Chains A and B, each alone.
Chain A
């Protein structure tokens, strides 16, 4: 690769590329990430869509929190088992809605550690709603409101944080 073709202006993600320099020598240059500069918005859109669709399934009790976070972290059953120390058989069971209710608190603690979240987040989904664009009449007096609502999933509540900036 020629040096002039290698430069990408993307400061948040820098990396080292080896190139053929203008003087014919080969060596490293510091540049930006091509894919992050050009396709990061697509990555976030896909991530948000996946999270939303999983959250809907979680609310309807079609999936369990273990399955939700397993997909978010891109683990498979074997990897999750290795990271938690819970047997593969149990990991599979805890991803089924009737199996999740038999999980022990100590199991949830292990899952939470592997997913890098507090244990409480396995049983609640945090949703932030920014009401900035809503008409003034629909905004609440309080600038921040925290609401908890039940879902069809007996183990999961939605904790919604509403932001009402005036």
Chain B
């Protein structure tokens, strides 16, 4: 069976995309940038000591699952969530819900999504898909990163839902029980923006927010010492582009998505200043995009001497300066609303 009423759409990011699609299916008209912004999804972190990582990495959005939790806390949207110990029970429950015509979001290891091109698939227990049907041994899934509904064998689905490791999904699934008739944007927008400002320039550890960007800009100079060889260094440098553009960010490391959120906020609140901040955030995104192009180019050319790494480091440091100034200004704008 397939839940015909569910409309598949691609989205910039899997978590906000899945959430937006489920809310729309439930009758709430809302955009992906609005979900991302209201859930204070924008973030920055330079992770070098997380025990599961084989190499330092940077993150550009909040921890997986936090977006939905914040949306749940801030609105009257009611979620039904569940984790499982038993793989059989998880599968039975999923089948039951689909049978009742309820689209279900599942947390999975991205590696097992075999409809995605091979070069994209990495082990990451932080991917979200929506299961919208089952035919024989195959599930029909709506994946924000795939242009049409995809099929996945139940064995692969089971592996994906019960992969071990960091942030193991443990069969996690959720669906939306109810949505409010409307959302009080006027109250929520300032609150969610203030939360983001705090994440970026509030009192945070040195690897979070703009301080994290500065840590990143310094630490990248030492990457040649912690890589196996030039190919490995090239691979890690080129992953900067992947993290900023390809891994579900909407471009410019989520900054374009957030700019769109700010633009929508300015229209809802009829606040011109927020519109100006949206423009500035777009420009900040362009700066991140330049970094991603530069990283891809020097990585491909193996032009990875200290001079180029210093140039890259300087570009990241400039983003930190630009973002610090931006959030300070945004704080003033929000406080005046």
Contact = CB atoms under 8 A, between A and B. Distances in A.
Interface of A: 1, 6, 12-20, 25-28, 30, 33-36, 38-40, 42-44, 46, 49-50, 73-76, 78-79, 82-85, 114, 116
A14 B148 CA distance: 11
Interface in B216-272: 231, 234-235, 238, 241-242, 245-246, 248, 250-252, 256-257, 259-260, 263-264
B33 interface: yes
Interface stretch (B126-134, B162-170, B306-314): B162-170
A17 B251 CA distance: 5
A15 B252 CA distance: 13
Contacts of B32: 28
B299 to A, nearest CB: 8
Nearest to B262: A26
A113 B292 CA distance: 35
A40 B159 CA distance: 28
Contacts of A39: 238, 296, 299-300
Interface of B: 10-12, 17, 32-33, 51-54, 111-112, 117, 119-120, 122-123, 144-147, 159, 163-166, 168, 231, 234-235, 238, 241-242, 245-246, 248, 250-252, 256-257, 259-260, 263-264, 278, 282, 285-286, 289, 292-293, 296, 299-300
Contacts of B112: 116
Contacts of B282: 1, 20, 26
A82 B250 contact: no
Given A20-B282, A28-B32, A73-B123, A42 B117 contact: no
Contact of B33 (A12, A15, A18, A33): A18
Residue among B53, B111, B248, B256 having the largest count of chain A Cβ atoms under 10 Å: B256
Nearest to B163: A83
Contacts of A33: 245-246
Contact of B256 (A12, A17, A34): A17
A93 B231 CA distance: 27
A79 B54 contact: yes
Contact of A40 (B119, B144, B285): B119
5 contacts: A30-B147, A35-B296, A36-B246, A39-B296, A83-B164
Contacts of A14: 10, 146-147
Contacts of A50: 231
Contacts of B263: 25-26
A25 B267 CA distance: 11
Contacts of A42: 234, 238, 299-300
B249 to A, nearest CB: 9
Contacts of A85: 164
A78 B10 CA distance: 34
Which 5 pairs of residues, A with B, have the shortest CB-CB distance? A18-B256, A76-B54, A83-B164, A26-B260, A17-B251
A83 B112 CA distance: 14
B245 A35 contact: yes
A28 B52 contact: no
